[in-house]
Amino acid sequence: MAIPYQTEDRQASEPASPQPELAGGDIIDLRYLFIAWLKWIWVPVLTALAGAYFGYQNLISFTPQYVASMTVLPTGGFGSGAATAGQMEAIANAIGLGSMGRDDDTRMFVRMRQLLGSVVLAERMQEKHGLMQIVFADSWDDTTQNWKRPEGPEFEREQKTQAFLRRNPWSPPDIQSLANYLGGVIRIETGRLNPFKELFAVHEDPEFVLWILETVFFEAEETLRERDRLDLSQRKAYIESQLDRQSKIHIQNALLEQLAVELGREVALEASSHYTAKVIEPAYVQTQRTEPDINLMFGVPIVLGGIIGFLSITLLAVFRRESR
């Protein structure tokens, strides 16, 4: 019986395994950081001043612009095609053509918004108004009637930067450039009350900004009107051709009803002065030009500069602490 006694005694005398302790280097003393911040306080001051200088440069380069605006009430389209969508679906299935109804996604104002940045509208504006030579006047040479490449050391430095970043170098403006301009020149926002919409355009020239807002809006409307006029003509011709081919009375009656609907759409299309939206408040130029946001222009760079300075001091202090 002595052997078990000795084993228990030996086990009892063994020391417990030591618990892991946190290394001193893993703990950062806040007092040490405060001392480092106070010692190097001039660093965030300099970075904040650099932010203020950056804001000042933005203020110098800021150019006040005029704002033109107009208020419109979007329309739901012309005619009452939505009421006969189920009927047209039945007719199309009966003659094996599939759906002929109109989707809600083709609402007139939505289509107009989509058209604003399209090549179709850009081609129309260029053909009727020569807008490229107006918008990109700095790159147009009236003498040679050709596009000219900008010159100067600043432009050359910019081109070298573009090449270094693997970005496209300068090229003469084309119709896609005009389409991109038209897509960004007009901003559409919700009005004070739904469903009214506010249209805005901004430019340095008050006469041009008023002209571009009105012209782009009405040219987009006229483009959609012409497209729908052609579509309506094709739909009428198709229904009339089906009337001659169909012998079933109920299908003929349904086609006649739909033909009457298309005729009503034609009247609405040609008679209405507004198409995608009714102008509630005509376009006008606001008397006050745009002003710089001083808080945003100076506050953000100064705060970011100070934060960068304190982060730099903190990282330096931690690195020096760890290297000891």
Segment 175-218, tens digit of pLDDT: 999 999 999 999 999 888 888 999 999 999 999 999 999 999 99
Half-sphere exposure (CA, 13 Å, Cβ side) for 80?
Answer: 8
Please tell me the pTM assigned to this model: 0.69
CA dihedral sign of residues 85, 90, 93, 97 = negative
User: Which residue is associated with the tokens 């095609």?
Assistant: 81
The b/e string for 112-121 (b: 16+ C-beta within 10 A; e otherwise) is bbebbbeeeb
Separation of alpha carbons 112 and 224, rounded Å: 7
DSSP 190: E
Spell out the residues 6+ positions from residue 135 whose beta carbon is closer than 8 angstroms to its own: 173, 178, 181
- Which pair of tokens denotes residue 66? 């005029």
User: Which residue is associated with the tokens 């100064």?
Assistant: 302
pLDDT at position 4:
52
Which domains, ranges and CATH numbers included, belong to the chain?
Answer: 30-62+292-324 (no CATH), 65-107+186-291 (3.30.1890)
First CA to last CA distance, the chain: 59
User: Which residue is associated with the tokens 């991109």?
Assistant: 180
Q: Which residues pair with 71 in a beta bridge?
A: 198, 281
3-state secondary structure of 75: coil
- Which pair of tokens denotes residue 155? 């432009």
Question: What percent of the chain stands above pLDDT 90?
Answer: 30
In this predicted model, what pLDDT tens digit does every residue of 143-174 receive, in sequence order? 888 999 888 888 888 888 888 888 888 889 99
pLDDT at position 88:
46
Q: Where are the beta strands (DSSP E) in 145-196?
A: 146-147, 186-190
